[in-house]
Amino acid sequence: GMALDEAQRRGELCAVYQPHDTQVEIFYEELREALDANRLQVFFQPIWDLQANRIAGAESLARWSSQHHGEVSPANFVPFSEQSDLISVLTRWSVNATLRHVASLPASRGLSFSINFSPRVLSRPGMVEQLIGALEIWGVAPTSVVVEITETTLVNDLEVSVQVLRRLRDHGIRIAIDDFGTGYASIAYLRQFPATELKLDQSLICAMQNEPHTAKLVRAIVNMAHHMDLTTIAEGIENRATQDMLADMGCDFGQGFYLGRPEPAADFIARFTAAEPTP
Ligand code: C2E
Ligand code: MG
Ligand code: MG
Ligand code: MG
């Protein structure tokens, strides 16, 4: 209501993130067809270097505009896909669609691009070969790609996942533990995954603004991560005060509506290419 909107405007409340609000009944055939027909879209959300105060790259986020349901959130169709082999199809689509856009950037840009992977696909045979193959086809350096492991479910085959992630690391691909601070396996992931980055979940970043003890927790996580040689990324930065607080804590990177909303990948790339000084 009005009071809520007003409180949100004053920055006293975080934008309420309720991924299951838009829950619709998705049909396997429908999503499968949309994937086959390339009717999903890739959006890029900028990732900002909080210390150098400049753009560092982007996270790739899938968007599905369904003929029957309108815009369906990935928070809705990703978990649905995870119940079948559709998640492999979605991941393969996501990798190729992302790299296609990355390949159109001048190589010298030095940006990093993050792609979300469900832990479920890590143990699928041929996963590593597929990703490496796609990088070769598109001519994208493995060192400019970050694989984000989203902690939606408990990994049932942790050992296989760890081996797969090691092989990705051997190729120079970076690994991020996504949504740290919520979910199931944070500490287990930290102990066992060969991660290079830790992404702090937006729920922590949002609560930090009004809860001093949460701010202390975030500071402690950033320090802990640095002790473990992990790069830190905060997600859900919605205002300047939060950006400043995180920069002051030494957090390396940030992402959020204040720094840039997800936008069609082509728009992100075009803006970038246009900004390049002409020789
Ligand atoms: P995620 O990886 O944690 O991505 C960040 C989510 O936070 C995105 O939601 C993004 O739009 C949203 N976000 C970014 N900045 C802000 C902010 O300042 N405030 C708030 N309230 N939200 C912000 P989105 O795009 O709806 O994606 C939801 C989740 O779906 C992602 O969470 C990721 O786990 C998953 N996902 C998205 N695309 C893919 C994909 O291609 N493959 C897989 N496997 N998962 C995907
Ligand atoms: Mg992510
Ligand atoms: Mg995340
Ligand atoms: Mg998240």
Structure tokens, 131: 């990703």
> How confident is residue 271, by pLDDT bands cut at 50, 70 and 90?
confident
Q: What is the DSSP letter of 156?
A: S
Of all atoms in ligand 1, which is nearest to the CA of residue 237? 18
Q: How far is the CA of 61 from the centre of ligand 1 (A)?
A: 6
Ligand 1 and 236: CB distance under 6 A: yes
Residue 279 has pLDDT above 60, yes or no: no
Query: Separation of 60 CA from ligand 2 center, angstroms?
Result: 8
User: pTM for the whole thing?
Assistant: 0.91
Give the mean pLDDT of 10-30. Answer: 61
- Judged against a pLDDT cut of 70, whether residue 277 lies above it is answered with no
- Note the helical H segments in 173-232: 186-192, 202-208, 212-227
- pLDDT, residue 11, reads 47
Which of the pair, 237 or 158, is modelled with greater confidence? 237
Q: Indicate if ipTM > 0.95.
A: yes
**CA 237 – CA 253 distance, rounded (Å):** 11
Looking at the CA of 17, which ligand is closest? 1
Q: How far is the CA of 259 from the centre of ligand 2 (A)?
A: 16
The pick from 20, 38, 150, 263 for probing ligand 1's pocket by mutation, whose C-beta has the most ligand atoms within 8 angstroms, reads: 150
Q: Among 76, 60, 79, which Cα is nearest to 24's?
A: 76
**Model pLDDT for residues 155-208, shown as the tens digit of each residue:** 667 888 999 999 999 999 999 999 998 876 578 889 989 999 999 999 999 999
**Two tokens at 132?**
């490496």
- pLDDT at residue 154, rounded to an integer: 60
Task: Please tell me the residue having the least CA distance from ligand 1 atom 42.
Answer: 116
Nearest listed ligand to the Cα of residue 255: 1
